[in-house]
Amino acid sequence: MACEKIFIRELHQRGLRLTPQREMVLSALHEAKGFETAEEIYERVRRLSASVDISTIYRTLDLLHHMGFVASVDAGDGQARFALTALQEPHVHLVCQGCGRIVGVPIHEVEPLLQALRARYGFEADLDDVTLYGLCENCRGSSPSAR
């Protein structure tokens, strides 16, 4: 897990600490392979240690998110979903409202939008964490199927 070494280094750089809870959340995210809710990640962590509190899960996911290790997507169903992105380029996320699939779009592909907003509104938008809703190729034709 090269990821963990980098995590420890980043923590130390910010004067933060490595705790068993933080290790377990990182490990749960490795297991997950894809977007999961905080509750699902909580369940994975509980299999490792029963005494961890859900608020610690949220705090740790938040930390990992701010450090750029984790992407957070609001799929529009009132529950955020999280996934490891480790050190990839930031993505804009597309959520299909037909099938629930989440697709990442490298941020450089929407650079023209950034330029347009800068030019016309003087607005410097931060697209690191944007989620767009719509219909994917599959669901566009057929009638939308349940998630």
**Of 20 and 134, CB closest to its own copies:** 134
| Number of Cβ atoms within 10 Å of the Cβ of 106 | 12
Identify whether the C-beta of residue 73 lies closer than 8 Å to the C-beta of residue 95: yes
Of these, 21, 26, 73, 95, which contacts DNA (CB under 7 A)?
21
Regarding 55 and contact with its own copies (CB under 8 A), the answer is no
Of these, 2, 34, 78, 126, which contacts its own copies (CB under 8 A)?
126
Strand-pair partners of 93 = 104, 131
Q: Which of residues 79-108 bind its own copies (CB under 8 A)?
A: 94, 96-97, 103, 105
Regarding 136 and contact with its own copies (CB under 8 A), the answer is yes
Of these, 11, 32, 52, 135, which contacts its own copies (CB under 8 A)?
135
CA 32 to chain centre: 12
**Of 10 and 129, CB closest to its own copies:** 129
Q: Shortest distance, CB of residue 86 to its own copies, whole angstroms?
A: 22
Identify whether the C-beta of residue 72 lies closer than 8 Å to the C-beta of residue 15: no
Give the sheet arrangement for strand 80-84, strand by strand.
Answer: 36-37, 80-84, 70-74
**Of 56 and 97, CB closest to its own copies:** 97
**Alpha-carbon span 52 to 56, nearest angstrom:** 7
Of these, 39, 54, 125, 144, which contacts its own copies (CB under 8 A)?
125
